[in-house]
Amino acid sequence: MLKRLFDMLLSIATIVLLSPLFLLVALFIKVGSPGPILYRSRRAGLRGKPFSLLKFRTMVVNADRIGGPSTSLDDPRVTRIGQILRKCKLDELPQLINVLKGEMSLVGPRPEVMSEVELYTTEEQLLLTVAPGITDWASIQFHNEGEILKGAADPHEAYRQLIRPEKIRLGLEYVRNRSLLIDLKILRATFRTLLGTKGRASMLAQMRHQP
């Protein structure tokens, strides 16, 4: 209950504080390319229940029918304004609405598409016992996911090989050791990463193991 109260209060405060930015981003998206402002992606939530994850649209309309679920930095589906939003992680801001609706938490394992969850092992299904989050240790470590996948002939297969194993390991680590203190550490590390703090890898290791 304390985590839920924390999520709601911080989400409301952030939405109010950043409301001018929300409007500015929405305007740029609408002017930059035809289509809706928000993108809805079907993801697996708590106990595997599907929900619509919200993002500011960064791709052309019907991008999910043109390519796979993983996106590289050089993906031709990404719009010009989308490149900027993805680099700054501003496309994730609408997920604060998912948090208010109780579909997500501020901190937790990132929600996967349903097709990936269907491949979970018995151990990996432990990830579904907590609400998915906007950020976690894996989000920080792989903040440059698009760069990692750049140039891959099959970005989603590259994701499965280069990112998924460590992402799953970090997610399971969070589930087994989660606490409000851990959440605060992850939020602090997330803000530092967004602000471009040097030495992200060493910072991540230090913060994860602080008492």
Per-residue pLDDT averaged across 67-72, rounded? 75
Q: Which residue has the higher pLDDT, 143 or 12?
A: 12
Helix 80-88 and helix 19-32, axial crossing angle in degrees, nearest 10: 150
Per-residue pLDDT averaged across 148-176, rounded? 92
Q: Is the pLDDT of residue 142 over 60?
A: yes
Work out the widest C-alpha separation in the chain, in whole angstroms: 49
Q: pLDDT class for 203, splitting at 50, 70, 90? A: very low
Percentage of the residues of the chain whose pLDDT score is greater than 70: 93
Q: Which residue has the higher pLDDT, 206 or 157?
A: 157
Least confident of 14-18, 72-76, 113-117: 72-76
Contact residues for 104 (Cβ-Cβ < 8 A; gap 6+): 45, 51, 53, 95, 98, 111, 131, 132, 133, 134
Q: Is the pLDDT of residue 186 over 50?
A: yes
Report in angstroms the alpha-carbon separations of 29 from 22, 35, 40, 72, 198: 11, 9, 15, 20, 30
pLDDT number for residue 3: 93
- Specify whether the CB–CB gap between 99 and 8 falls below 8 A: yes
Least confident of 53-67, 100-114, 158-172: 53-67
Look up tokens 């590289």; give the residue: 72
- Specify whether the CB–CB gap between 152 and 72 falls below 8 A: yes
Q: What's CA 20's distance to the chain center, in Å?
A: 22
Q: Is the pLDDT of residue 208 over 70?
A: no
DSSP state, residue 112: P
**pTM score, whole prediction:** 0.86
Q: Is the pLDDT of residue 14 over 90?
A: yes
SS3 content of the chain, % helix, strand, coil (to 5): 55, 10, 30
Where helices occur in 67-163 by DSSP H, the ranges are 80-88, 95-100, 114-117, 137-141, 145-149, 155-162
